[in-house]
Structure 1
Amino acid sequence: MALRAPLGLSRRALPAQITKYAASQQQSMATVVPPVTQDNTGSKGPTAMVFMNMGGPSTTAEVGDFLSRLFADGDLIPLGRLQNYLGPLISKRRTPKIQKQYAAIGGGSPIRKWSEYQSSEMCKILDKISPETAPHKPYVAFRYAAPLTEEMYQTLFDDGFGNGRGGRAVAFTQYPQYSCSTTGSSLNELWKWRQRLETKRAGNEVDEAGAITWSVIDRWPTHAGLVEAFAQNIEAKLLEYPEETRKDVVLLFSAHSLPMSVVNRGDPYPAEVAATVYAVQQRLGFKNAHRLVWQSQVGPSAWLGAQTSDTVTNFVKRGQKDLILIPIAFTSDHIETLFEVDQEIIHEANELGAEGRVKRADSLNGSPVFIQGLAELARDHLASGSVGSKQLGLRCPGCTSQKCLETKKFFMKQEALL
């Protein structure tokens, strides 16, 4: 059986896609789009702030394309040499089931709504606390759903960044803890489209000297704003329990799991998630017992455990019914919180006799504390003059990905341009 590319675009369609974007660039240059307006205070602005995340389908009709892109990504779900065959097969089989799940949470994922809100509100604060890099313009780039990375890049062009005009942009991962499967994949995708749209491959009119200068906020697992926002949401949820039993509530910090093949090659994600958990518990004063658990395993291969669902089941069966689930690796609600935790795990716990005592702490969503923290993190990054963290250029000990190597080389070279 012939293998075929599982992406929404086939391999044959890629040149046409590149031509489309190149033509769009040429049209933009022909109409002389001016750079983003800079106010009187912004000596180093304007600055594009690009929120990167996995994304999610906004409607049930988008689920198929979302899953097709997701299972085609070997950085996230490594299927080996059969990726191009197994990816589309799995996504096609799972689409009806996942469509029902999105229908159950209102017909689509709210992650785009929250990402656009968070980025917009952050930029308003950033204009005030970092006037020298103002104005700050918010953008969202999702890996598997609209707005895709290439769509975001075209919007940057339309707004006067790049395409021969230069400009400054920050790739701000909304995965607080770094993994090659998430942040790494998004950065690989950003690098790919930069190469296609801002190099000679995009057309003779493209001047690489006028390309966008990028830096990266690549991880922030123990940032004070993140920790405080989580802690406040946990404290609010604890108040729903009787005062006399509040100290006995067990906190279950739940993060998206990883295949053990990824963990064993040295991915930093488990350690960074654990660092977030410890920082939050330290802020809370270690008043409650806790465990770090992992959710959303896909497929039969070995994944990082213990699984969240199994842990809740085992605790409830033992009589430990007072449990709070905390989505510690997510910055907003999406299918893993609204369906997997709320409608599956908690529902099953109640069927086992939990009596409504298994709860979930609110996601960060529109938390003013969280958004203020994002702005302060971005301000400090811009003031540092650094391309990213010290970890950004370091590959996993077992990494064999040439794409990862080239991506890291590109971003590390950007530091000389900042």
Structure 2
Amino acid sequence: MLSSLYKTYSKTSVTNTIKRLNSTMPKKDKNGTAIVFMNMGGPSSVPEVKDFLYQLFSDYDLIPISKNYQPTIAKFISSFRSPKIEKQYAEIGGGSPIRHWSEYQASKVCEALDKTNPETAPHKPYVAFRYAQPLSKDTYKKLLEDGITRAVAFTQYPQFSYSTTGSSINELIRNKKDLDKDDQIAWSIIDRWPKNDGLTSAFAENIQAKIAEFKKEDPDFKEEDLTILFSAHSLPMDVINMGDSYPAEVGATVYSVMEKLNFNYKYRLVWQSQVGPKPWLGAQTADIVEQLNDPGKEKLILVPIAFTSDHIETLYELDLEVIGESKHPKNIKRCESLNGSETFIRGLIEECDHHLKNKTPFHKNLDLDFVLAKKDPNGNAPLRKFFTK
């Protein structure tokens, strides 16, 4: 009798203990975690250029023209500008490489996270572009088809701007409302990472490689004759004057890179890609290059500090226009883009690893970013309701 009671008690105790342990252990989602790289994107082929331009100029968050007539205006602008932009893409090989590099980077991140973060594995790579294939809406449909229930939106704009990351967030929220009314997918977001160690170290390594080229080519090279120009995509002053955090965060990236270079060289932050008649953030990259390159003595290194991979702004605007049309092109080098840099990909992995383990749904400044952009996070952009874990 006593023996029977003891066996029953032991089995019950063991069962209860296992239940208690299971209740305290983190739940592992059998479908794993989607890591979604968000970016502007670029046309992968010349025939995609017109639609890319239409999507871009239709975005009121990026280019505020007219809420009522923006699509009509975008249709006109894209038709008008397509022939010129198509020629530019033809000159850089027939399309943008940004999709290739985004898919490569995302796959490498997920491979590493499966080993470092088994509790959220398997990690599945996705790319969601705002203006090119694969468009954000198509990627969201794919996530639902694949049965994804947890996803991390990982902006590939390291420095936050409402015009870029903010626009992608708004599109993500619209897609969820249209496609995911049952809330199948729980989202969190990495919305900025301007001082990420892998990011800034990769830039520093690529700059040092260009300095080594100058030294090899010119035995009389002197460090005091070198200026590093960090070039970032400019924004209209209308956006900046609302308190957008982009200039400060780009500056933080630049400063972190120069720290790694021990501030051994002169440097300046400049801005590129201005379009339209409105005032934009300056000084403009092309103007500063022309000024410094004119005597023919100064060595210049251009660093695309706000881009994580090559696209039209590096391959055409910097390489063929700014450098190609300069008076002394041999004195200017463009720093390699991050693309497949192992140091950079390590930084991406570390950023995701920290995010998954920290379980913070989004950066504390994101609410303020939307308030200053006159988008109430509790109204038009319900951030706390949308980003949950």
- TM-score of the aligned structures, taking structure 2 as reference length: 0.88
Taking the TM superposition and a 5 Å limit, the aligned residue runs for 1:158-307 are 158-161=145-148, 167-199=149-181, 207-208=182-183, 211-242=184-215, 244-247=220-223, 248-307=225-284
2:40, 2:129 within 8 Å by CA — same for their partners in 1?
Answer: yes
Residue 48, structure 1, aligned to residue 34, structure 2: yes
1:393, 1:408 within 8 Å by CA — same for their partners in 2?
Answer: no
Q: Which letter maps to 1:380?
A: H
Q: What displacement does 1:90 show?
A: 1.6
What SS class does the counterpart of residue 189 from structure 2 fall into? strand
| CA deviation vs aligned residue, 1:375-404 (integer Å, no higher than 9, x gap) | 1110100001110111122235642346x6
Q: Which letter maps to 1:43?
A: K
Q: Determine the C-alpha separation between the residues in 1 that align with 2:247 and 2:279.
A: 15
Q: Which letter maps to 1:245?
A: F
Q: Which runs of 5+ in 1 are unaligned?
A: 1-40, 162-166, 200-206
Taking the TM superposition and a 5 Å limit, the aligned residue runs for 1:25-64 are 43-44=28-29, 46-64=32-50
What SS class does the counterpart of residue 273 from structure 1 fall into? helix
What SS class does the counterpart of residue 383 from structure 1 fall into? helix
Q: Determine the C-alpha separation between the residues in 2 that align with 1:103 and 1:348.
A: 18
Residue 384, structure 1, aligned to residue 358, structure 2: yes
The equivalent of 1:89 in structure 2 is: 76
Query: What is the aligned counterpart of 1:103 among 86, 90, 93?
Result: 90
Relative distance call for 1:51 and 1:90 in structure 2 (3 A) is same
Q: Determine the C-alpha separation between the residues in 2 that align with 1:228 and 1:194.
A: 36
Q: What displacement does 1:136 show?
A: 0.3
What SS class does the counterpart of residue 302 from structure 2 fall into? strand
Q: What displacement does 1:58 show?
A: 0.6
Q: Determine the C-alpha separation between the residues in 1 that align with 2:194 and 2:158.
A: 5
Q: What displacement does 1:43 show?
A: 2.8
Q: Determine the C-alpha separation between the residues in 2 that align with 1:190 and 1:135.
A: 23
1:42, 1:131 within 8 Å by CA — same for their partners in 2?
Answer: no
Q: Which letter maps to 1:391?
A: N
| CA deviation vs aligned residue, 1:19-43 (integer Å, no higher than 9, x gap) | xxxxxxxxxxxxxxxxxxxxxx993
RMSD after superposition: 1.7
Name the stretch that deviates more: 312-321 or 231-240: 312-321
Taking the TM superposition and a 5 Å limit, the aligned residue runs for 1:5-16 are none
Which is higher, the Rg of structure 1 or of structure 2? 2
Q: Which runs of 5+ in 2 are unaligned?
A: 1-25
Q: Which letter maps to 2:303?
A: I
Q: Which letter maps to 1:173?
A: T
Q: Which letter maps to 2:330?
A: G
- TM-score of the aligned structures, taking structure 1 as reference length: 0.82
TM superposition outliers: structure 1 runs of 4+ over 6 Å: none
Relative distance call for 1:367 and 1:86 in structure 2 (3 A) is same
Relative distance call for 1:331 and 1:307 in structure 2 (3 A) is same
The equivalent of 1:345 in structure 2 is: 322
1:60, 1:102 within 8 Å by CA — same for their partners in 2?
Answer: yes
